[in-house]
Structure 1
Amino acid sequence: MLGETAPLAAALAMAADAALAGNGTRRAQVVIGEDETMRTFSVLALPGPQSVTLIVSPCANAGGSDEVASRIAHLRAEVALFMRDHVLSIVSHDLRGPLNAIHSWGYVLERKVDANDPASQRALTGIRSGVEQQVKLIEQTVDATRAETKAVALKLAPVAVRPVLERSASLARAGVANARGVTIALDSPLAEEQVEGDAERLMQTLWLMQAFAAEASPRDAQVSVPSNIEGNMWRTDVRFTASAQALKDAASPHVLEAFSRRQALEPRETGRIAWGLALCKRVSEAHGGAFEHTDIVDGGEVTLSVRIPVAGM
């Protein structure tokens, strides 16, 4: 956080300047209006190669606590950041395959067409030039934009898992579940167990899993969260019944943006996850663990699952 609550222009400028100077993510808080009309927003500043991206999230009232509301706003900003990175990664990967094929077929055509035919040679030159431009665009724009979160920096220390579970569930209830009438039920015998990890990142992961389950569940549903130690892994599942109507309901509180909620319901390729859950995948893999989920279909039973090694990396 950059100082105390500040006016809009000043806080945005401070966040951007600090992100550029420190070459890292910075957070701030801004206010607009006064007294009854005052609104508070959280800002996440992400430095890029030539500019700074500012993600501004409203701090909605969550359980009457400004601290909780600000915390949830920052969590949502982190979700948006990792989702952006994940989508750019998919775009970069999926575009390279067709471009490589076009490039290869260009060489095949080069050997087949008449070298003395100006029109054919111009066509081949256009194909090669187009491919080179697209590859350059991917490298300079897509790949450069996701450089900030390409590697997840972890602050490793012994982490007691029970408080992380309870804190994540509390924030998920305050931000989404309570307003939707959804119950989040922890089911874990864990008490003093610890893992070597980043407590903040682990909490973010568990919060997102539970918050997503709450917003994807019909009203008055229950989200079950069993958590235990299996061998050398700490495993936490989040189980719920998915509702397409709940995900599409714009009038209810949400963690994810509308396009991300719609994407979660689309068929997915093997091994890929819903875009909005990218933070869970990146954080678990940075810890040497894994994240996966079953298909998210209307009326279907869904399980989100994260596994984190108990021992050090």
Structure 2
Amino acid sequence: MTTPSTGTPGAEPASSGFAVSERTAHLRAETALFMRDHVLSLVSHDLRGPLNAIHSWAYVLERKLDANDPNSQRAVSGIRSGVDQQVKLLETLVDATRAETRMLALNYAPFPLHPLIDETVAEVRSGLARARGVEVAVDSRLATEQLNGDRERLAAALWVMLTFAVEASSEGATVTLAAHADATAWHATVTYAANGAALENPGLPHVLEAFARKQAGEPREAKRIAWVLALCKRVAEAHGGSFEQIDATGSDAARLALRVPLSAAAPQ
């Protein structure tokens, strides 16, 4: 993985005049794509429940109404027709848009974990972290461990985790990446002191989309993640692993936790 330096020819401007490398621009675009699909998935899931309930209650209502009353029957028919139209929209617009990226293609190959961490941390440090005055510390107990998986996808997931933590940190703060491997899996945990003002302040350098940062500061339902972290979740689960976003509670800092099996294998 090459790491172009910030401000090189071809770099793209982010917010507040901050220039990002070509690789960072690519990762930012990938993050936005996965976020789009995640939001569409939520829309599809969250709308189908109420629509199914309306459809069922329309049948109940139909049996209660006078079958000889044309106005009542027309009203029930209109309800069912409206529900069918909404379901059709979900199928043709939402589901069709997600069709090409629903199944995440992975290029499996064994690779050492330590260099992946070094290169990804260097990318974040030299770009956004330096511009924001945020330190990125590494607590790694990795030596020669290898993982069989898609190196580029996993590097992207780690980049999003670190970048989000930096975005949510105040100047002078430290974001810590702890990494280790046990007998079966690689564990990477990013710990940071979340600061909502830093996350949304338009006067600070940013890489992630403004609306994504705003949404990340809003309350979430249990076990749901901020939209902007969708890439992390998709990549982890595609490898048979998991991803969690844990908010700060009491004296405990906020955490992003990635777990990926060392022997992840392509599905048959």
Give the TM-score of the pair, scaled to structure 1.
Answer: 0.77
2:107 to 144, 155, 162: 155
Structure 1 unmatched runs, 5+? 1-37, 43-56, 63-68
Match of 2:118 in 1: 166
Write out aligned runs for 1:91-102 (5 A). 91-102=43-54
Match of 2:164 in 1: 212
- Which amino acid counterpart does residue 186 of structure 2 have in structure 1? W
Shift of 1:175: 2.7
- Which amino acid counterpart does residue 61 of structure 1 have in structure 2? A
SS in 2 for 1:186: strand
Indicate how the Cα distance of structure 1 residues 296 and 276 shifts in structure 2: closer, same or farther if over 3 A, else same: farther
Shift of 1:312: 3.6
Match of 1:244 in 2: 196
Match of 2:174 in 1: 222
- Which amino acid counterpart does residue 210 of structure 1 have in structure 2? L
> Structure 1 CA distance, aligned partners of 2:250 and 2:81?
45
Give the % identical residues.
56
After superposition, give the CA deviation of every residue in 1:12-64 in whole Å (9 maximum; x if it has no partner): xxxxxxxxxxxxxxxxxxxxxxxxxx97669xxxxxxxxxxxxxx9x9634xx
> Structure 2 CA distance, aligned partners of 1:253 and 1:184?
16
Q: Does 1:278 align with 2:230?
A: yes
> Structure 1 CA distance, aligned partners of 2:11 and 2:134?
26
Q: Does 1:61 align with 2:19?
A: yes
> Structure 2 CA distance, aligned partners of 1:218 and 1:273?
21
> Does the Cα contact within 8 Å between 1:173 and 1:211 map onto a contact in 2?
no
> Does the Cα contact within 8 Å between 2:200 and 2:210 map onto a contact in 1?
yes
Match of 1:12 in 2: none
Indicate how the Cα distance of structure 1 residues 148 and 252 shifts in structure 2: closer, same or farther if over 3 A, else same: farther
- Which amino acid counterpart does residue 232 of structure 2 have in structure 1? C
1:139 to 62, 87, 91: 91
> Does the Cα contact within 8 Å between 1:177 and 1:183 map onto a contact in 2?
yes
1:106 to 48, 58, 61: 58
- Which amino acid counterpart does residue 143 of structure 2 have in structure 1? A
Structure 2 unmatched runs, 5+? 1-8
> Does the Cα contact within 8 Å between 2:192 and 2:255 map onto a contact in 1?
yes
> Structure 1 CA distance, aligned partners of 2:250 and 2:130?
22
> Structure 1 CA distance, aligned partners of 2:208 and 2:262?
30
> Structure 2 CA distance, aligned partners of 1:123 and 1:140?
26
Count matched residues.
Answer: 256
Match of 1:253 in 2: 205
- Which amino acid counterpart does residue 247 of structure 1 have in structure 2? L
> Structure 1 CA distance, aligned partners of 2:97 and 2:46?
17
Indicate how the Cα distance of structure 1 residues 202 and 39 shifts in structure 2: closer, same or farther if over 3 A, else same: closer
Match of 1:294 in 2: 246
> Structure 1 CA distance, aligned partners of 2:227 and 2:251?
20
- Which amino acid counterpart does residue 175 of structure 2 have in structure 1? V
> Structure 1 CA distance, aligned partners of 2:111 and 2:151?
6
> Structure 1 CA distance, aligned partners of 2:250 and 2:91?
38
SS in 2 for 1:273: coil
SS in 2 for 1:149: coil
Match of 1:184 in 2: 136
> Does the Cα contact within 8 Å between 2:11 and 2:19 map onto a contact in 1?
no
Q: Does 1:268 align with 2:220?
A: yes
Shift of 1:231: 3.0
More contact order relative to length (CA 8 Å, sep ≥ 6):
2
> Does the Cα contact within 8 Å between 2:137 and 2:177 map onto a contact in 1?
yes
Give the TM-score of the pair, scaled to structure 2.
Answer: 0.90
Shift of 1:210: 0.4
> Does the Cα contact within 8 Å between 1:162 and 1:193 map onto a contact in 2?
yes
> Structure 2 CA distance, aligned partners of 1:72 and 1:102?
45
Write 1 or 2 for the structure with the bigger share of strand.
Answer: 1
Q: Does 1:86 align with 2:38?
A: yes
Shift of 1:296: 5.8
Match of 2:26 in 1: 74
Match of 1:201 in 2: 153
- Which amino acid counterpart does residue 240 of structure 1 have in structure 2? Y
> Structure 2 CA distance, aligned partners of 1:39 and 1:306?
32
* C-alpha RMSD of matched pairs (Å): 2.2
SS in 1 for 2:99: helix
Shift of 1:205: 0.5
